[in-house]
Structure 1
Amino acid sequence: MSSPLASLALSLLPTLLVVLTCCWLTRRPEAQCRPWRRRLAILLITSLAGRYLVWRVLFGLNQQSPMALGLSWLLLACEGWLIFTGLLQIGLSFSGRRDHTAAAKAGEALLQQCPSPPTVDVLIPCCGEPLALLERTIIACCRLDYPAKTVWLLDDGPEYEGTDPQDDGSPRQRRALARSLGARYHRRQGRQHAKAGNLNAVLPHCRGELMAVFDADVVPQPHFLRRTVGLFLRETRLGFVQTPQSYMTPDPLMRNLAMEDWLLPDEESFYRWIEPVRDSVGAVVCAGTSFLMRRRALDQVGGFSTDSLSEDLATGIRLIALGWQGLFLPEKLSAGLAAPGVADFAQQRLRWCRGTLQTLRSPRGPLRIAGLSWLQRLAFLEGALHWFNAIPRLVLLVLPLSTGLLGILPINLNGASFLMVFLPYWLSLLMLVSWLNGESRSALLPELYSWLLTPVLAWAVVQTLLIPRWRPGFRVTSKTLHRARSRLAWGLVLPLLALFVLNGWNLLGLLSVLPPSPAMATMPLSNRRREIGLWGCSGAG
């Protein structure tokens, strides 16, 4: 065997071993495997990530000048942060997932034998949704197969008069709609604290032992309460039960890419992987809709939290800190509408980002509130840390320009190093992450969402952290029964388009302001493109 072929074979050997190991581990679905297979997969990913970081520190830094070394450390810090947050999410699944389906079945049988079932208030907060949408949700809630319930429409919508059923109407029209369908109607004075304020305003009028909350676009199945109320009869310290959010319409990114028929939406992995994992460590996230909560527990924490835009997350943390249990039931018992357009999708994610970071900074957030175990704090912290990923991602988008603007390549990377060090790690993620999360998402699809939102999320993180008193106005995600006409979200597209154009020029050697460093000056243009291309592949991973 010639020397080049032998060198190539040696470079590919670690990759081949990783691929064979991953194929062996993933022969059967993760849910059907013994725990040691899942733990071995997590350890394999962790060890390969550690191997890559060690190589980056020892051999991957460009030390030709102080500026080159500084940029190299900046790049390494960004890579290290993204690897750390990814491993933290994967590592939380080390102990497995819980499934409360059997407990729900036993609770349903117990409920059938109960002579006086717990009373339930079903709350539908609305804020400007179309009348036709409200009508559908109210009808579904009134038809819940449960006798001891009271359905409330909580109106936070505008005052003007509407005539089209696709309009949101007026308070008089919404009141008439609710009463004609058998629901009670409540409208508060003012609109302070957005959704949390709307929910808190009706609490003095509610008498139920439990309360279910559904967003205005969410349609519960008739057996929603039968499947969830019994769990509260079994567990006296159960504070809330969260069920998955599912969608009748594809999200705009999936629809625009024509992938809605063969790929699951981004939220699917949260309810098929992340929530069950958090349930196993006692850190279930209250997601704001499709949940059932014990009224006595809510009263103990003073109602729904008004400290952040994510009142659901903050309220759930406070309940758990007081010793109440949060439980995730992995049954799709309701369905709503996805954001109709890319701009609405981005606005929704921005609100979640700001609300989560506001909760993190709060004195009663997961870092400072008393009553949480270290594992619960870690799980809630992981949910906040992944929003910070937008900043290193933005740096990774900008840093390749240093090759053209400064004449510096901030990483020492060649083909052999790529094959021996980075490729095994990247393939382990590609093959094992989707297996670990029950095929609810691949390792690549979330990257599409993340990179698209990187510039706006990075700006939101900086605003929320540096201006803690800054509170943007609460905007409800637009929902409609009809498919929205696709519109280009220029606020998202332009920053990314500019960066991609600049990086394209850079790759072609057309972006040059300062003379290149001595090493790059003697490097042929084709080799320089190859080095930048390998770096781009590693950055995308």
Structure 2
Amino acid sequence: MKLRCFTALTVLVLAILLPPLGALICAVIITIQLALMALRPLLACQAAHSASGARAPAGHWFSVHVATHAEPPGLVIATLRALLAQDWPPEGFEIIVMDNNTADPALWKPVERFCMAHPDRIRFLHRMQVSGAKAGALNIALDHVDPRTTHVVTVDADYVVARDFLRRAAAALHRTGADYVQFPQSYSGATIAAPGVDAELEEYFRTNAAKADDAEAVLLTGTLCVISRAALAAAGGWSGATTTEDAELGVRLCNGGFSGRFINQVVGKGLLPLSLHDLERQRYRWCSGNAQTLIRHARLIFTGAGSLTLARRLVILSQLTAWFNLALAPFTLLCMWLLTGRGHTFAATLAGFAILLSLCDIVLRVLTRGWRDGLPARIVLHALACRTALAPQSAKATVDALIGSRLTFIVTDKTGDKLRASRDLHHCQLVLFVAATLLLAVSAPASPVILAALAALMLPWPAALLTGRSLRAYRESVMPAMRETPA
């Protein structure tokens, strides 16, 4: 890890001192960006893959796993109440709550008491010193499943599922014949209080997951997924090797020859991150974890060394790179070249073009989705602002993963108690805005490409202000109900 960081830093310094080397790096980045941008329309043009076909009717016995860590007790209990109210036969499923590394008894004891009131329906496990974050917790839950279990279901601690969730899951498994199915993530009250943020998050499912469904190679997204117990065991269970244990397991399942389908039905709703700061942390984990997964399984994806077909490799690549942003290196190089009087070089123009290409990718993805689904212009604008505001964190996450920085699993705060006024200042985006403004004033670049690139670097700050305002409205709309939730 240290060697990769040192090597990357050395190459960056040399690229600053030697513009031809910097130009080569920018050219490589531009090539990768164009290839990833071309991947989506390429997949869209492919004919839909024929499904493997429904299997003979079979009994499904579900083990529902709810992994928790320092969650608000009322939130977890609301999740458990919804699971208890399923219209699936009570003798046909169990619920396992696996609380890991929560030191404060005030957070896990109320959940334990609730579970003890339903001893025949819920099993509560509390463990300390669990390694592997959520993956470690889910593996412990796997060790405690009922022998009758045919499928494992994961539900996040803040998700309230529909009463017919398990019935729909069984129907989807029977209809598709899949080894695992993934339902979309959705958020309570988001379409009213923060529709742009909701639309930005939904874009992944409406594009990447939907197209991966054709190849039966949908990657898991952590909650509302239903996995064959046999397939999960054959793949080796969950792994904490990356911070997106769900996507990483999905790659192994696909390579093992198992089929995964995306079921575009809203069967449960959770909570949006309560501030832009929390949304950035979530996006950082998703982007960096998927980059880790891509590196970990690069041989399978890029060389075909495993059993993956070309179609599956392409849709897996599309899903793992959904939030990639490669603009950090060109930004650094452009800043240094402008400050050292090299802003007139071809290398600086290439760096500016790479930055603009990154923005074009964001705009094209959001506008294409908005046009295809007929979203109102206001919602598309807010979704575009959200994706733009998150771009700096995506860029940092991509680089951190590629150079081997140590990454840790970050649990999204769902209480609102940790919020501080400083979280609404959007420091990273403000730094970009100030830096671009100063570079415009000090270096006065003549190249229209560089001028446009510096203007693009100013956009994340106003986008962050708009997105932060939406999330404050969302927070104000959901917090009263959360405080009233009985523990």
Question: In structure 1, the residue corresponding to 2:313 is in which secondary structure?
Answer: helix
**Partner residue of 2:407?**
472
**Partner residue of 1:161?**
105
179, 182, 190: which one aligns with 1:242:
182
**Partner residue of 2:158?**
217
**Partner residue of 1:283?**
217
Determine whether 1:130 maps to 2:76: no
Structure 2 unaligned residues grouped into runs of 5+ = 1-16, 460-487
Deviations 1:31-77 (A, max 9, x none): xxxxxxxxxxxxxxxxxxxxxxxxxxxxxxxxxxx977776666555
Q: CA deviation at 1:393?
A: 4.9
236, 239, 246: which one aligns with 1:312:
246
Q: CA deviation at 1:433?
A: 1.6
Read off the aligned partner of 1:196 and give its amino acid letter.
A
**Partner residue of 2:334?**
399
Cα 1:370/1:73, change in 2 over 3 Å? closer
Q: CA deviation at 1:411?
A: 6.2
Cα 1:440/1:534, change in 2 over 3 Å? same
**Partner residue of 1:61?**
none
Q: CA deviation at 1:384?
A: 3.2
Q: Distance in 2 between matches of 1:316 and 1:440?
A: 30
**Partner residue of 2:317?**
381
Q: CA deviation at 1:428?
A: 10
* Two-structure CA RMSD over aligned residues (Å): 4.1
Cα 1:176/1:398, change in 2 over 3 Å? same
Q: Distance in 2 between matches of 1:179 and 1:454?
A: 45
For normalisation by structure 2, the TM-score amounts to 0.74
Q: CA deviation at 1:175?
A: 1.7
The number of equivalent residue pairs is 424
**Structural mapping, 1:36-51, within 5 Å:** none
Q: Distance in 2 between matches of 1:244 and 1:504?
A: 40
Q: Distance in 2 between matches of 1:540 and 1:97?
A: 40
**Partner residue of 2:116?**
179
Cα 1:536/1:472, change in 2 over 3 Å? closer
For normalisation by structure 1, the TM-score amounts to 0.67
Deviations 1:56-113 (A, max 9, x none): xxxxxxxxxx97777666655544443332222232222366899xx9xx99xx97xx
**Partner residue of 2:141?**
202
Q: Distance in 2 between matches of 1:359 and 1:342?
A: 25
**Partner residue of 1:43?**
none
Q: Distance in 1 between matches of 2:320 and 2:260?
A: 18
Please say if residues 340 and 483 of structure 1, whose CA atoms lie closer than 8 Å, have aligned partners that are also in contact.
no
Cα 1:155/1:435, change in 2 over 3 Å? closer
Read off the aligned partner of 1:463 and give its amino acid letter.
D
Cα 1:264/1:410, change in 2 over 3 Å? farther
Q: Distance in 1 between matches of 2:248 and 2:339?
A: 46
Q: CA deviation at 1:137?
A: 0.2
Question: In structure 2, the residue corresponding to 1:152 is in which secondary structure?
Answer: strand
Q: Distance in 1 between matches of 2:150 and 2:219?
A: 21
**Structural mapping, 1:298-309, within 5 Å:** 298-309=232-243
Segment drifting more, 178-187 vs 211-220: 178-187
**Partner residue of 2:268?**
334
Q: CA deviation at 1:298?
A: 0.9
Read off the aligned partner of 1:378 and give its amino acid letter.
L
Please say if residues 72 and 410 of structure 1, whose CA atoms lie closer than 8 Å, have aligned partners that are also in contact.
no
Q: Distance in 2 between matches of 1:213 and 1:446?
A: 28
Q: Distance in 2 between matches of 1:426 and 1:381?
A: 16
Structure 1 unaligned residues grouped into runs of 5+ = 1-65, 163-167, 521-527
Q: Distance in 2 between matches of 1:187 and 1:376?
A: 38
92, 116, 134: which one aligns with 2:43:
92
Read off the aligned partner of 1:200 and give its amino acid letter.
N
Please say if residues 19 and 347 of structure 2, whose CA atoms lie closer than 8 Å, have aligned partners that are also in contact.
no
When Rg is computed on C-alpha atoms for both structures, the one with the higher figure is 1
**Partner residue of 1:28?**
none
Q: Distance in 2 between matches of 1:290 and 1:312?
A: 11
Please say if residues 98 and 277 of structure 1, whose CA atoms lie closer than 8 Å, have aligned partners that are also in contact.
no
**Partner residue of 1:462?**
399
Please say if residues 366 and 383 of structure 2, whose CA atoms lie closer than 8 Å, have aligned partners that are also in contact.
no
Q: Distance in 2 between matches of 1:316 and 1:334?
A: 21
Q: CA deviation at 1:185?
A: 1.2
**Partner residue of 2:60?**
118
Q: Distance in 2 between matches of 1:499 and 1:125?
A: 37
Cα 1:94/1:538, change in 2 over 3 Å? farther
Identity %, equivalent residues: 24
Q: Distance in 2 between matches of 1:387 and 1:339?
A: 17
